[in-house]
Amino acid sequence: MHEIPKILIIDDEEIVRDSCIHILAKSDYKIVTARDGAEGLEILEDFQPDLALVDLKMPGLSGYEVLEKIHEYDPTIVTIVITGFATVDAAVESMKKGTYDFLPKPFKPDELRLIVQRGLERRRMVIETITLRKEKELLREHFAAIVSHELKSPLGAVQQNLFVLADDLADKLTDEQKTMVERLQTRIKDMVTMINTWLRVISVDISKIREDFKPTSIDTIVTKAVGSVESHAIRKDIAIKHKLNPSLPQVSGNEGTLVEAITNILNNAVKYTRVGGKIEISTIKSNGSISINITDNGVGIDEEDIPHIFNDFYSGKARPEGERSSGVGLAITKRIIEAHDGTISVESTLGEGSAFSIQLPALEMTNNFIDPD
C-alpha cells in the first residue's frame, strides 16, 4: 500500500471523472483518470493504483473486461464499479469477478468518499495479511536453519563424545556415576528427538510434496499406517478395526506423507484411548472424493481445545500419562492433507470419543494406475 493512496478512475463521462476528482480532492490521494478501458489499462502498470473506480458501461472495452484485466494484473487492487444502470444483476455479475463494491450513478459525495475509504482500508488489510504471511514463511525458514545448525549439530557432537567417554570410562565409573551418564544420554536423546520434531513441522514443504504425486491406493496407505501403530495398540489392548476396500478409486498423492498423516491420527487415537478401547477405520467414496474416517472411544477432546488442535505446537487438555506430547502431529497432518487438496475435520464428545474425517479428491477409475507388483 502506498503512503499516499493511489486511485485510478476509468469512466467515459468527463463530468463523472471531474466530480470524482472534486469530491476526493480534500483527502490526500493521488488520482489519475482514464477516458476508456484501454487507456485505463495502459496507465495501470505505470501508476500501480491501490484502488480503481471503473464505469461498467463504456465504449470499446466493457467495464467487465477492464475489471477482469485489473484483477489478472494484480488481484490485490480494490475495484469499485460505478454504473448508471444500477441493477442487482450488474452488481452481482461484477462482484463475481472480484469487485469489492458497487456505486450507482448518480451518487452523493459522501457515498463516494465512504466507499473509497472502505475500499482503501480493505486494500491495507489485504497487503498486511500478505506481508504477515511472507514474514511467517521467512521466520519458519530462519527457525529451521537456526534449529538445525545452531542446536542440532552441536548437540549431536555432545551426544557422540558422551558415547565415546562412557565407553572409555566403562570400567572406571562407579555405579552412581554410570547412572548419571545414562541420565545425561537420555536427556540429550530427548532433546535431539524434540529438535527433529520441530524440524519436521517446519520442513513440511507443500510444494515439494506436490512434486512427487502418483496414483496412490488408500488401502495401502491405511494398512501401512495401521502397521506402524499396531504394537502400541497391542500394548494397550486396543482393537483396531479396519476393513479393506479394494473397489475404492486411487488418489493422486505422495504415499509417504499420506501414511504419516494417517499415522498421526491413529497414534492419537491409541494415545488418547483407555486400555481395552476400540478404534475403527472406514473408507468410502462419495461425490468424487474419498473419506477416511477414524473413530475412537477414547477420552474425547474438550470443546475449548477443538478449534486449536490443528495448530502448530498445540497440546490439548487430554494428557496421557507417560506419553510424549509435542502438539505437532495434527498440524503436520493438516498441512499434508491440504497439500493433497483435501480437508480434515473432527467431531468429539468428552468422555465418549473422537471421530476424525479426511476427504481427498478421488482419481477417476479410468486413470487408475495398475501397479505391476
CB 180 within 8 A of CB 332: no
Query: Is 268 near Mg ion (CB under 5 A)?
Result: yes
Residue pair 295/355 in contact by the 8 Å Cβ criterion: yes
| Residue 316 binding partner per list Mg ion, ligand ATP, none, with a CB distance cut-off of 5 to 8 Å that depends on partner kind | ligand ATP
Q: How many residues bind ligand ATP (CB under 6 A)?
A: 24
Sign of the alpha-carbon dihedral angle for 53, 55, 56, 61: negative
Q: What are phi and psi of 24, to 5 degrees?
A: -90, -5
CB 77 within 8 A of CB 33: no
The 73-102 contact track toward ligand ATP, x by CB under 6 A, reads: ------------------------------
Asked whether the bond before 106 is cis by omega within 30 degrees of 0, the reply is yes
Residue nearest ligand ATP (C-beta atom): 316
Give me the residues paired with residue 296 across strands: 279, 354
Q: Contacting ligand ATP (CB under 6 A), which of 233, 301, 344, 363?
A: 301
Q: Smaller CB distance to Mg ion: residue 33 or 264?
A: 264
Query: Taking CB under 5 A as the criterion, which residues in 295-334 touch Mg ion?
Result: 329
User: Whose Cβ is closer to ligand ATP: residue 51's or residue 279's?
Assistant: 279
- Residue 243: contacted member of Mg ion, ligand ATP, none (CB under 5 to 8 Å, by partner type): none
Site for ligand ATP in 304-343 (CB under 6 A): 305, 309, 314-316, 318, 324-331
Of 94 and 333, nearer to ligand ATP (C-beta) is 333
Would you say 27 or 357 has its CB closer to ligand ATP? 357
Considering only 82, 298, 340, 363, the residue that binds ligand ATP (CB under 6 A) is 298
Judged by beta carbon, residue 218 or residue 330, the one nearer ligand ATP is 330
> Residue ranges of the alpha helices (H) in the chain?
14-24, 37-47, 63-73, 88-96, 109-146, 153-168, 175-203, 206-211, 218-235, 255-271, 329-339
Tell me the C-alpha distance between 184 and 170, whole Å. 15
Q: What is the maximum alpha-carbon separation in the chain? A: 98
**DSSP class of 150:** I
Q: What's the rounded Cα separation, in Å, for the pair 63 and 94?
A: 9
301 binds, among Mg ion, ligand ATP, none (CB under 5 to 8 A by kind): ligand ATP
User: Applying CB under 5 A, which residues contact Mg ion?
Assistant: 268, 329
Interface residues toward ligand ATP, by CB under 6 A: 264, 268-269, 272, 296, 298-301, 305, 309, 314-316, 318, 324-331, 354
